[in-house]
Amino acid sequence: MSGLNGILNAAKRAMMAQQVGIAVTNHNVSNASTPGYSRQRVNFETAPDEKESFGYLGNGVNVGSIQRLNDTFINQQIWTTNYNLGQATQQGQILNQIQSSLNEPSDTGLGAMITNFFGSFQNLALNPEDSASRNAVVQNTTSMVETFNNLSSNLQQTKQDLTPEIKSRVDQINQLLQQIWQSDQNITTLQAGGLEANDAQDNRDNLIASLSNLTNIHVHQDNQGATSIDIGGTIVESASGYSTLSAADSGGQMQILAQGSPQPVDVNSGELGGILQMVNTTIPKYSGELDTLASTIIAKVNAVQSAGFGLGTPPPTGNDFFTGTDAGTIAINPAITTSANNIAASGDGSPGDNSVALSTAAIANDLSMGGGAETISQFYNGIVTDVGASVQSATNSQQSQNLVLTQLQNQQNSVSGVSTDEEMVNLIQFQKGFDSAAKVITTVNDMFESLLNMLTITG
Amino acid sequence: MRVTENGMATNYLTNMNQARQKIMDLQSQLASGKRVQKPSDDPIATGTIMRLQTALSQNAQYSANIDAGKGIADSTSGALGSLSDVLMSLKETVITSMNGSTVGSLSTNADSVDQFLSEAVDIANTSFNGKYIFGGTQTTEIPYTLSADGTTVTKNPKGVDGTISFPVGDGINQQVNITGEEAFQGTGIFDTMIQIRDAMKNGIPPTADQLNAVDQGLNHILECAGNAGLVSQGFDTMASNLAQQKTQLTEFLSTAQDADVAESSLQLQNDQTMLTAAIQVAAQSLPKTLLDFLR
One pLDDT digit (tens) per residue for chain B, 295 residues: 788 888 888 888 888 888 898 899 899 889 989 999 999 999 999 999 999 999 999 999 999 999 999 999 999 999 999 999 999 998 988 888 887 667 677 888 888 888 898 999 999 999 998 899 999 999 989 999 888 888 888 888 888 889 999 999 888 899 999 999 998 888 888 988 998 888 888 888 888 888 898 899 999 999 999 999 999 999 999 999 999 999 999 999 999 989 888 999 999 999 999 889 888 888 887 777 777 777 6
In 3D, which of A321, A327, A262 has the Cα closest to residue A292? A327
- Cα A270 to Cα A218: distance, rounded to the nearest angstrom: 12
Whether A49 contacts A1, CB under 8 Å: no
Confidence of residue A1 (pLDDT cuts 50, 70, 90): very low
Pairing of strands A331-332, B127-128: unpaired
> Taking CA atoms, what residue in B is nearest to A96?
B40
**Kind and range of the H or E run holding A221:** strand A218-221
What's the distance, CA A75 to chain centroid? 17
Contact at CB, A362 and B171, closer than 8 angstroms: yes
What's the pLDDT score for residue A247?
A: 94
> Taking CA atoms, what residue in A is nearest to B294?
A424
**In angstroms, what CA-CA distances link A16 with A12, A23, A437, A442, B108?**
6, 10, 9, 16, 146
Task: Examine residue B280 and state whether it is found in any structural domain, yes or no.
Answer: no
* Mean pLDDT, range A3-18, rounded to an integer: 92
Q: Convert the pLDDT of each residue in A319-351 to its tens digit.
A: 999 999 999 999 999 999 999 999 999 999 899
**In a 10 Å sphere around its CB, with 0-12 CB exposed, 13-18 middle and 19+ buried, how is residue A323 labelled?**
middle
What predicted TM-score, i.e. pTM, was given to this entire model? 0.85
pLDDT surpasses 60 at A129: yes
A246 compared with A193, residue with greater pLDDT: A246
**In angstroms, what CA-CA distances link B100 with A228, A257, B95, B192, B213?**
126, 113, 10, 21, 20
A-chain CB neighbours of B252 within 8 Å are none
Report DSSP letters for B206-251, one per residue: PPHHHHHHHHHHHHHHHHHHHHHHHHHHHHHHHHHHHHHHHHHHHH
- Cα A73 to Cα A253: distance, rounded to the nearest angstrom: 35
Contact at CB, B61 and A123, closer than 8 angstroms: yes
Omega before A105 within 30 of 0, i.e. cis: yes
Whether A231 contacts A217, CB under 8 Å: yes
**Kind and range of the H or E run holding A41:** strand A40-46
Contact at CB, B39 and A126, closer than 8 angstroms: no
Report DSSP letters for B143-181, one per residue: SEEE-TTSS-EEE-TT-S----EEEEETTEEEE----HH
The amino acid that residue B239 corresponds to is A
- Select from A365, A385, A424 the residue whose CB has the most chain B CBs within 10 Å, as the one to mutate to test that interface: A385
In 3D, which of A280, A287, A286 has the Cα closest to residue A166? A280
What's the pLDDT score for residue B101?
A: 66
In chain A, DSSP finds a helix count (H) and a strand count (E) of 11, 12
Number of domains making up chain B: 1
Contact at CB, A116 and B294, closer than 8 angstroms: no
- B51 in contact with A at a CB cutoff of 8 Å? yes
Q: State the smallest CA–CA distance between residue A275 and chain B in angstroms.
A: 19
What's the pLDDT score for residue A457?
A: 64
pLDDT surpasses 90 at A371: no
Could you give the angle at the alpha carbon of A388 between the alpha carbons of A384 and A390, nearest 5°? 115
Nearest CB partner across the interface for B290, out of A33, A382, A421? A421
What secondary structure letter does DSSP report for A280? I
The amino acid that residue A118 corresponds to is F
3-class secondary structure, B7: helix
- Cα A441 to Cα B137: distance, rounded to the nearest angstrom: 122
- Select from B32, B41, B46 the residue whose CB has the most chain A CBs within 10 Å, as the one to mutate to test that interface: B46
Q: Convert the pLDDT of each residue in A372-402 to its tens digit.
A: 899 999 999 999 999 999 999 999 999 999 9
Task: Examine residue B223 and state whether it is found in any structural domain, yes or no.
Answer: yes
Q: Convert the pLDDT of each residue in A419-457 to its tens digit.
A: 988 999 999 999 999 999 999 999 999 999 998 888 876
Contact at CB, B170 and A100, closer than 8 angstroms: no
Nearest CB partner across the interface for B40, out of A119, A352, A391? A391
* Mean pLDDT, range A252-260, rounded to an integer: 90
Q: Convert the pLDDT of each residue in A69-107 to its tens digit.
A: 999 899 999 999 999 999 999 999 999 999 999 998 888
Task: Examine residue B45 and state whether it is found in any structural domain, yes or no.
Answer: no
Where are the domains positioned within chain A? 3-69+417-458, 77-222+265-403
- Select from B8, B10, B38, B293 the residue whose CB has the most chain A CBs within 10 Å, as the one to mutate to test that interface: B38
Residue % of chain A over a pLDDT of 70:
99
3-class secondary structure, A323: strand
Task: Examine residue B225 and state whether it is found in any structural domain, yes or no.
Answer: yes
* Mean pLDDT, range A210-237, rounded to an integer: 91
In 3D, which of A182, A173, A163 has the Cα closest to residue A86? A173
CATH number for the domain spanning B200: value is 1.20.1330.10
- Select from A102, A368, A392, A398 the residue whose CB has the most chain B CBs within 10 Å, as the one to mutate to test that interface: A392
Q: Convert the pLDDT of each residue in A24-36 to its tens digit.
A: 999 999 999 898 8
**Kind and range of the H or E run holding A65:** strand A61-68
The domain in which residue B221 lies consists of 80-239
Contact at CB, B46 and A100, closer than 8 angstroms: no
Task: Examine residue B23 and state whether it is found in any structural domain, yes or no.
Answer: no
How many Cα atoms are found within 13 Å in the side-chain-facing hemisphere of B149? 3
What secondary structure letter does DSSP report for A279? I
**Helix locations, B33-184, DSSP H:** 43-98, 103-124, 180-183
**Kind and range of the H or E run holding A9:** helix A3-30
**Kind and range of the H or E run holding A275:** helix A270-277
Whether A457 contacts A70, CB under 8 Å: no
What secondary structure letter does DSSP report for A199? H
Average pLDDT of every residue of chain A:
92
What's the distance, CA B286 to chain centroid? 68
What's the pLDDT score for residue B198?
A: 86
A-chain CB neighbours of B43 within 8 Å are 385-386, 388-389, 392
Task: Examine residue B112 and state whether it is found in any structural domain, yes or no.
Answer: yes
What's the distance, CA A276 to chain centroid? 11
In 3D, which of A195, A252, A263 has the Cα closest to residue A40? A195
